Amino acid sequence: MGCNCGQSKKSQGNIVITDEATRMMICKKCPEVNKLSVIGHVCGKLAQPTKDTCGCILKLKTKLKNQRCPQGKWWYKMQIVTKQIGKNEYICYLRDDRGMNLKAEIGKTVTEATQKLIDKITYGLYAPMNVKITS
């Protein structure tokens, strides 16, 4: 049985996340991923796809730009937008592909506002994470 990526409705849409490291970070937080001692992280069981997993070796799959996550986690079609709203006050918000603002955070700097929003997003998707933004 081969890879089932792209067959699920969850994995349809534009592939937006093509960065290998970002893809791997997303995969490592997924409860379906297993780590095997010889080949590393695998989506589900090796070479045994299901409706939610593909059975692929993620070290290879995350490098291939045209590949899809069977759960649709690599095609988020959203933007992070930051604007100054006052002296030493910035708002950073998550906007979907229809232009709707989904989440927002305010900070004293662009970096602080963005960091708060990313923390909120990653907490909502994967539980607490430590992500540092450096400028």
List, run by run, the mean pLDDT of 10-residue segments along the chain (135 residues).
61 68 84 94 93 92 87 75 93 79 89 85 58 54
Nearest to 32 by CA among 14, 13, 48: 48
Structural tokens at position 101: 């603002």
Taking residue 126's Cβ as centre, other Cβ atoms within 10 Å add up to: 15
pLDDT of residue 8: 60
Residue 70 lies in a domain: no
**Those residues with Cβ within 8 angstroms of residue 41's Cβ, 6 or more apart along the chain or in another chain:** 24, 27, 28, 33, 34, 35, 57, 58, 59
Q: Is residue 4 part of a domain?
A: no
Query: Residue 21: which residues within 8 A CB-CB, separation 6 or more?
Result: none
Residues 50 and 91 in one domain: no
Residue-range definition of the domain harbouring residue 19: 9-61
The answer to whether residue 68 sits within a structural domain is no
The answer to the question of residue 87 being in a domain is yes
Number of compact structural domains in the chain: 2
